[in-house]
Amino acid sequence: MVQLIPSSEEVMQTLKETGAFREGHFIYPSGQHTPHYFQMPLAFRYYDTARVLAVALSRKFRLENEISSALPRVAIISPGPGGIPVAFGVRDALEAEQIYWAEREQGKRMFRQFLNRGEVNPCIIVDDIIRTGTAIRETAELVKELGAPIIGCGAIVRFTSAPTKLNGVPIKSLVDFDAKWYAPEDCPLCKEDVPAEHVRF
């Protein structure tokens, strides 16, 4: 039988091979230390890899009757620039009619496109990675203000510490990753004198 959706292990191997997932000793702007670092755009710089990941995620959405029955009158929405390649790939795979993306400006998330209430189709919010869920929750509030129902949500990678649902809608992912975070004084990598690299989201 042909495997339509790659396993979590296969997806992680792809992310490693493209440099989108690295292991080591990393320090985030928050000051937290971690032994892993995702830089998802590195996977999406390759068209074939981007298509495989986006199509795999889209197939998870197609399994939901509410989504498959709504196609093609669906909007794919990204919470920020990082999710735009995922959004375009999922939109293409699902042949959805609309695509929108938001971004943070002066501390507030907003749509760059001018949108009127009632003109956005039932939507699927997608991102490259969900770490805390803040971005998708803020995007859900924007969508709610526009009067559009959320029928799906997902990402290539979801940290297990992030929500499993968005407004009652299950969050789909290709990988559920058990992230490790340490305060500087508790970091085992520091105690082992592992060289650290400062990174950003």
* Euclidean distance between CA atoms 99 and 147, whole angstroms: 16
Chain position carrying tokens 């290709």: 174
Does the annotation flag 129 for ligand binding?
A: yes
Checking if the pLDDT of 130 tops 50, the result is yes
Helix axes 8-17, 47-62, angle to 10 degrees: 160
* Euclidean distance between CA atoms 189 and 15, whole angstroms: 23
Mean pLDDT of 13-20: 96
Mean pLDDT of 172-186: 96
Does the annotation flag 5 for ligand binding?
A: no
Mean pLDDT of 101-112: 86
Mean pLDDT of 155-182: 96
Checking if the pLDDT of 132 tops 50, the result is yes
Does the annotation flag 134 for ligand binding?
A: yes
User: What is the dihedral angle through the alpha carbons of 161, 164, 167, 172, rounded to the nearest 10 degrees?
Assistant: 130
Checking if the pLDDT of 1 tops 60, the result is no
Please report the pLDDT score of residue 3 as a whole number: 63
Q: In this structure, are residues 104 and 129 in contact, taking their beta carbons and an 8 Å threshold? A: no
For domain 8-12+38-178, give the fold: Rossmann fold (3.40.50)
Strand partners, 171: 153
Chain position carrying tokens 């699902």: 94
Domain ranges of the chain: 8-12+38-178
Does the annotation flag 130 for ligand binding?
A: yes
Please report the pLDDT score of residue 117 as a whole number: 78
Checking if the pLDDT of 2 tops 50, the result is no
Q: In this structure, are residues 127 and 98 in contact, taking their beta carbons and an 8 Å threshold? A: no
**Mean pLDDT, the chain, whole residue set:** 93
Nearest alpha-carbon partner for 89 in 174, 178, 179: 174
Question: Is the pTM higher than 0.85?
Answer: yes
Please report the pLDDT score of residue 137 as a whole number: 95
Which residues, including other chains, have CB under 8 Å from residue 10's CB and lie 6 or more apart? none
Tens digit of each residue's pLDDT (9 = 90 or more) over 52-93: 999 999 999 999 999 999 999 999 999 999 999 999 999 999
